[in-house]
Amino acid sequence: MADDSGREHWFAFNILPHETSLRRWLAGLRIQDSDALDIIQESYALLLERDRLDDILNPRAYLFQVAHSLMLRNIRRARIVPIMAIEELGTIEVADKAATPEQKAIGLDDLRHLSELIEGMPEQARQAFVFRRIHALSQREIAERMGISENTVEKHIARGIRWLGDRLADGGNPCSQISKGDGRKNKRV
């Protein structure tokens, strides 16, 4: 961020609204009010010392992570640490909306399954669908690349979406086959 007014605006819009939930989170960890205030103020100072702020994708999660790191640092430096502080720090879940490893694995599996379904589309429908939905080309660009009219591109994309919808409605069942000629389902026996 180039100027201080831009930094102040970013900070006021992206960080300050989370102070109440950060205070609540710290109170839930049995952090005394004076210590919580110190952690919050030091978190703000560390954030404002960064060269850039606009590269922080999830400001709330980043704020909580900074506060968590400061708590850990304070506990390491303390000569006497209440046993509750150590127990509770082991179970802290930083308020982050990022996917869990399980959610990432499920998402990758879903993506792999969708990719396999797209590969099974009729050739021209698949090609038009991929150009449009994956490469974000316009219908005109797709028509030029495929050597067909824009109207035909639109029909191929619609056919691909219908084909994919039918397959997803069947749970991606490999036993159902879409006829490449007319788009109707034929069940294999």
User: What dihedral do alpha carbons 120, 110, 189, 125 form, nearest 10°?
Assistant: -20
The percentage of the chain sitting over the pLDDT mark of 70, rounded to a whole number, equals 74
Taking alpha carbons only, the member of 158, 166, 172 closest to residue 184 is 166
pLDDT, tens digit, 9 for 90 and up, residues 68-118: 888 888 777 765 545 444 445 544 444 455 666 676 777 777 778 888 888
User: With a threshold of 0.75, does the pTM exceed it?
Assistant: no
101-187 topology per CATH: Arc Repressor Mutant, subunit A (1.10.10)
Taking a C-beta distance cutoff of 8 angstroms, is the pair 137, 146 a contact? no
Q: Is the pLDDT of residue 40 over 70?
A: yes
Q: How many helices (H) and strands (E) does the chain have?
A: 9, 2
Residue whose token pair is 């180039």: 2
DSSP 48-75: HHSS-STT-S-HHHHHHHHHHHHHHHHH
- What are the residue ranges spanned by the domains of the chain? 4-89, 101-187
Max mean pLDDT range (29-33, 91-95, 154-158, 166-170): 154-158
